[in-house]
Amino acid sequence: MNLSSLLEGAEARQKFLTDLRSHKSYTYADLRQASQSLVRFLEKKSIGPGAKIVYFTINSAFFFPLLLACASRRAALVPLGPRMHIDELRHIVKQLSPEIIFFDEEWLPLVGNFENSEKIQVRSQDMLCLAHLEDGFQEAGPLACEEGDGKAALIIYTSGTTANSKGIALSHKNLTVMARAFSCFYGFRQGQKFLSMLPFYHINAPMITGLACMSAGAHVFLTEVFGFSVAKSIWDIVEQEKIQVLSITPSIMASLNEMYPAGTTKDISSVEYALVGTAYLKESLWREFEARFHIPCFQGYGLTETTTWAVMTPRDERKRYDSAGIPVACEVRIDPSGLISAEGAPEGSGEVLIRGDIIMKGYWGNPEATKAVLVDGWLKTGDIGFMDKDGQLVITGRIKNIIKRRGQLVLPEDIDSAVGRHGQVLESCSFGIPDDMLGERVITACVLKERTPEIETGLYDFVRGIVSPNKMPDQFVFFRSLPKNTLGKVNLKKLKEYVTGQTSQDLFAIFDKARYRKAKTPDAAAILKIIQDSLIDDMPFCLVGYWGVGHRDRVDENDRAVLDNLRMLVDEVNQCVNKPWVRLKLILADIHGRCNLVPEASARSYFAAIAEECRGRGFEHIYLSEIWAQNGLILEDILKRAETRAFSRLWQEFQLKDQFIGQAKRHLPQEDAERAARRYYAVVMAEHEAVARYGSGAVFFTHNDLEYAAVNPPLPTIYIHSIKPGVSEKPWFMGSASGASEDPKGGA
């Protein structure tokens, strides 16, 4: 039993795949030919049994011939996606030691991180992108794929909700049995049109809108991964292409419900049904979607370890909204041993075990983890459920997520079911966190349609009125959106880290690294709160800082070094949360330049060059003069005030007076140093509140020492090195016409 057998029934001229991005279509003959060309290429590269081929991809027409070619050489294809942290990707690639890394165009900036493997860039939207690998195509003969000793044909790394990802090794038999079972159960047929919009580095898309379609000779229409642009055009695609089957997720259903509250005016009558997987499908969402779009939906239950769905909703009168369906191509049994009944758990509940030809070979390179879940051929799923009198599987929770409070077991799903009955709740996720007094404290993370104090209080009272005291959450945490993986599942591990403040601590620790930190901030508590609020509100974390001007009219290597150091800091923080989260804003201090008598033309030229450097690094910028204008500040008025007796008293009491005079002597040697310093002090104090308003909610960063805190804007502040540890001079003063070579403490 091998993957090549899936092509046996397909007509050569029948279309296999249409890429809606490139508007290219490929027949089953094209698929065979592309696969054969890749087989010859891999053979020349001495790729043989047991070899690993990594493919960095999101969704790609090239995926399928590459999978078949790897299978023919008895090598394993390992697709990896962009949502993994770079350190995790490095670990996986190091562990695999792949002979070749294929990568799609958008991965080019990343592949330099991986050594000791040949790297080949491909055009992901072109199944036949082999011109640079082979000198033309040869006539394709029969594609031979032998399972041989049962080596893995595909290794999928999961995006686990509770733990680190594992490489799940799937054999030829796993893939072919599941492909045929799926196709047969749902009646896939030749030429039937499927819409594929899920990522290829998880099992759902390669199987349901890939190998299962291949086994029936169906026609797959491929889009970019589902997002706003696909959501905006999905019904146009369905109408134009006469799509007959959708493969979607609960999060996609929710998005389409929200975007099209009145349904669609497009003709989507061609759609026969939708297959819904990757996450639990709530009955309310299921019924709402069907009623709105008149599309019958069928869900399935399974894991990557079961080569996608092991249990499926039938397309007949047995369809139910309260069950996962019936077992297909496998056996399911319930193991109650070791599971203490939680309050209200149905009789016969236990851990769901699955056995059959669809069960994975194991976790690649991790025999201990494999042994823990594969016992006598049965896969321990970690899910709790029961088989009802009709032979349908009902899932009620997960073993790992059971909460134990005061010695009593609580099923989070029971709480979420009650919370979901409140009309303002879009979604929720309940879980336990350690507590010295309670054992575990019950937290319910919620997303509301509208967030007001009245709704929040009302939700608490509502839930308290419909659940037993044992199930009542100890705390509600209101999110703008819950952290999820690429397939729309709530990332419980990350959610817990957000709520407990662990992620905030990890992020703050980056700012506090010796590589960046010039001085310990006294504002740690305030900064941690800003980080925490930004994570929970799903809002950017903003850093704001001054960029001054000396007497240069162009940027040099010192400016670029400091900007690169800031970019390094931003990238490290973004990698920790696995998304572009930090917004860095530079305030180009042109007002300070005027105060310090920098020639206007010189300052204008320098700041224009800095602005261009900012754009190249993804930084934002604003001129200080814009902030002054927004707040009605006028430089001439402030400079006049600096000459008054009232200001003289302030100046004499200013604790940093001598330091300011010292700066003026270094940077303005031709001027009256005290007068220049006094003038500068008047300016920075005048703009204090204006800059604080501009940076409201942000963290201020400065290259000054901590002793200068009094002249910083009244914002939580971090103190960072200029170019590198040990160098305190500002870049705009380095190599300036003033001749200053060192500025140990200088201000903006």
pLDDT tens digits along 669-688:
878 899 999 999 999 999 99
Q: Which class is 502-733 in CATH?
A: alpha beta
**Cβ-Cβ contacts under 8 Å for 608 (sequence gap 6 or more):** none
Per-residue burial over 630-661, b if 16 or more Cβ lie within 10 Å, else e, is eeebebeebbeebeeeebeeebeebebeebbb
Nearest CA to 98 out of 63, 54, 132 is that of 54
Q: Is the pLDDT of residue 736 over 70?
A: no
Segment among 272-281, 541-550, 582-591, 732-741 with least mean pLDDT:
732-741
Condensed to tens digits (0 to 9), the pLDDT of residues 88-113 reads 788 889 889 999 999 988 888 888 88
Which of 3.40.50.410, 2.30.38.10, 3.40.50.300, 3.90.550.10 would CATH assign to domain 296-401? 2.30.38.10
pLDDT band at 409 (very low <50, low <70, confident <90, very high): confident
Integer Cα distance of 484 and 83 in angstroms: 11
pLDDT band at 85 (very low <50, low <70, confident <90, very high): low
Mean pLDDT of 351-358: 96
pLDDT band at 728 (very low <50, low <70, confident <90, very high): low
Q: With a threshold of 0.95, does the pTM exceed it? A: no
Mean pLDDT of 598-620: 95
Q: Is the pLDDT of residue 339 over 70?
A: no
- Give the model's pLDDT for residue 137: 38
- Give the model's pLDDT for residue 340: 52
Q: Where are the domains of the chain?
A: 296-401, 410-498, 502-733
- Give the model's pLDDT for residue 241: 98
Percentage above 70 pLDDT, the chain:
92
Nearest CA to 413 out of 434, 394, 437, 431 is that of 431
Q: For the purposes of burial, counting CB atoms within 10 Å of the CB of 322, is it exposed (0-12), middle (13-18) or buried (19 or more)?
A: exposed
- Give the model's pLDDT for residue 746: 41
Cα dihedral 660, 662, 667, 673 sign: positive
Per CATH, 410-498 and 502-733 having the same topology is answered no
pLDDT band at 654 (very low <50, low <70, confident <90, very high): very high
Amino acid letter for position 474: D
Integer Cα distance of 224 and 343 in angstroms: 44
- Give the model's pLDDT for residue 462: 95
- Give the model's pLDDT for residue 130: 60
Segment among 205-219, 237-251, 431-445, 692-706 with least mean pLDDT:
431-445
Q: Kindly list the distances between the CA atom of residue 541 and the CA atoms of 83, 567, 624, 724, in Å, as whole numbers in the listed order.
A: 20, 14, 21, 23
Integer Cα distance of 740 and 728 in angstroms: 13
Q: For the purposes of burial, counting CB atoms within 10 Å of the CB of 138, is it exposed (0-12), middle (13-18) or buried (19 or more)?
A: exposed
Condensed to tens digits (0 to 9), the pLDDT of residues 213-265 reads 999 999 999 999 998 899 999 999 999 999 999 999 988 998 899 899 999 99
Q: Is the pLDDT of residue 83 over 70?
A: no
Segment among 280-284, 378-382, 597-601 with least mean pLDDT:
280-284
Higher pLDDT, 324 or 108: 324
Token pair belonging to 181: 């079972």
pLDDT band at 486 (very low <50, low <70, confident <90, very high): low
Instruction: Supply the DSSP symbol for 236.
Output: H
Domain 410-498 CATH superfamily: ANL, C-terminal domain (3.30.300.30)
Strands 52-56, 273-276: parallel, antiparallel or unpaired by DSSP?
Answer: unpaired
Nearest CA to 54 out of 130, 128, 111, 127 is that of 111
Q: For the purposes of burial, counting CB atoms within 10 Å of the CB of 465, is it exposed (0-12), middle (13-18) or buried (19 or more)?
A: exposed
Mean pLDDT of 462-469: 88
Contact 167, 365 (CB under 8 A): yes
The alpha carbon of 608 is separated from its chain's Cα centroid by a whole number of angstroms, namely 34
